[in-house]
Amino acid sequence: MRPVHHSLLQRDIVVNEILCGNFAGRPSLFEPSQTIRVINWNINRGLRLTEILEFLKSQSPDLLILQEVDLNAHRTRYLNVAEELARNLAMNYAFGREFQELAEGSRAAAAYHGQATLSRWDVVNPRVLRFRRQSNFWRPRWFVPSTKPFQKRLGGRIALVTDIGLTPTRLTVYNVHLESRGNNDLRRSQLQEILENATKSSTQGPCIVAGDLNFDVSSGGALCAIEGVGFRSVLGTRRPHTTAGNGMFWRPRAIDWTFVSGPLEVASARVHSDVDASDHYPISVTLRVSRSTHQIGA
Q: Give residue-wise pLDDT tens across range 190-234.
A: 999 999 999 987 666 899 999 999 999 997 789 999 999 999 999
Tell me what pLDDT residue 43 has: 98
Give the integer Cα–Cα distance in Å for 165 and 126.
12
Integer angstrom CA distances of residue 190 from 8, 104, 177, 215 = 17, 27, 9, 12
pLDDT of residue 28: 57
| pTM of the predicted model as reported, rounded to 2 decimal places | 0.90
Cα gap 153→10, rounded to integer Å: 10
Residue 272: Cβ within 10 Å count: 17
Pick the CATH number of 4-289 from 3.40.50.970, 3.90.1150.10, 3.60.10.10, 3.40.50.300: 3.60.10.10
Contact 158, 128 (CB under 8 A): yes
DSSP single-letter state for residue 30: -
pLDDT at position 166, please? 53
pLDDT at 293: 47
Q: What is the pLDDT of residue 202?
A: 61
Would you list the domain boundaries of the chain?
A: 4-289
Q: Residue 61 to residues 39, 53, 96, 122, 297: CA-CA distances in angstroms?
A: 7, 11, 20, 14, 15
In sequence order, the 6+-apart residues with CB closer than 8 A to the CB of 148 are 74, 75, 103, 104
User: Of 283, 263, 264, which Cα lies nearest the Cα of 273?
Assistant: 283
List, for the chain, all residue ranges whose pLDDT scores fall below the cut of 50.
Answer: 1-13, 32-33, 293-298
What stretches of the chain adopt beta strand conformation (E)?
4-5, 18-21, 35-45, 63-71, 92-101, 111-119, 123-130, 133-134, 153-155, 158-164, 171-177, 207-212, 232-233, 256-261, 264-271, 283-289
Q: Between the CA of residue 240 and those of 219, 255, 272, what are the distances in Å?
A: 14, 9, 10
Interatomic CA distance for residues 178 and 152, integer angstroms: 18
Q: Is 224 helix (H, G, I), strand (E, B) or coil?
A: helix
Amino acid at 257: W
